[in-house]
Each structure stands twice: as C-alpha cells, then as structure tokens.
Amino acid sequence: MMGLHETKQKTLDGVYIPPLPQVRTTDGHIVDYDRNRIVRQIVEETRLVETFYGYVGASEEQAHEIAREVEQRIRMMGLKYLSGPLIREVVNMALLWPFLKKDWCSTVMYARVLVPRSLMPT
C-alpha cells in the first residue's frame, strides 16, 4: 500500500497537493479526499446486507476496487470541490453499473418510457 505522500503531488515550493479535489462534508468542513473512508463505509454498510438480507457483503479488496473506480469517475468530472453526497452518488453508480450493463437495453427502455418492469414484455 502506498504511503501518505506517495499519493499526493508536490509543488515546486514543497507543498503537497492531493490529486483529487477537497471534500465538503455534510457538517460543513473541508477535508482532503480519503479513499479509505469510502472503503470503510462500503465494508460497514454491506455488513448490514449480510445481517438483514443474507447476501455476502463486500470484502475489503472489493471495496478498494470500487473506491478506485470512484476516483476515476471523479477525475473525469474535473471538479474543483466535492461533497459527501456527490461521492455517495458516484459510489452508488459504481455499485449499480455492473447490473445495468448486463441488461442495458431494457434498463434504458424502462428509464426512457417510464413503464414499470412488471408491465414490460419478457
């Protein structure tokens, strides 16, 4: 695993700059982006899935993979600042995307036509 300063860029003045925008938390603080917070949250919340629904939760390795994908999506957005809710939505999309890709055609059709799946032909 990379050390703290290996994940940041250093300016000519010796100041470390995070490669991703800073995050405004829901309580109003501005903090540096931290992949480990996403990983911890994914692992913690998928444990609830195990408890309530009996499905297997995400391993730490899977959570790291999802967090890396989230970072790629955030970089592509080119934002100056992030918010906690925006990161949450990007994580949700990263979690949903594999399922949407499997049945892309019908997913787009349901989203565009706004017809309940139960009424769509199988």
What confidence score (pLDDT) does residue 18 get?
Answer: 61
Q: Enter the pTM of the model.
A: 0.66
Strands 22-24 and 81-83: parallel
Of all residues in the chain, what percent carry a pLDDT higher than 70?
68
Mean pLDDT of 10-26: 77
Average pLDDT over the chain, rounded to whole?
78
Strands 9-10 and 30-31: unpaired
Quick one: pLDDT band at residue 2, thresholds 50, 70, 90?
Answer: very low
Tokens encoding 116:
């309940």
The rounded distance, in Å, linking the Cα atoms of 34 and 74 is 13
Mean pLDDT of 50-62: 87
Quick one: pLDDT band at residue 45, thresholds 50, 70, 90?
Answer: confident
What confidence score (pLDDT) does residue 3 get?
Answer: 44
User: What Å distances lie between residue 36 and 57, 59, 85, 104, CA to CA?
Assistant: 17, 13, 16, 31
User: What Å distances lie between residue 43 and 37, 61, 84, 90, 119, CA to CA?
Assistant: 10, 10, 17, 16, 36
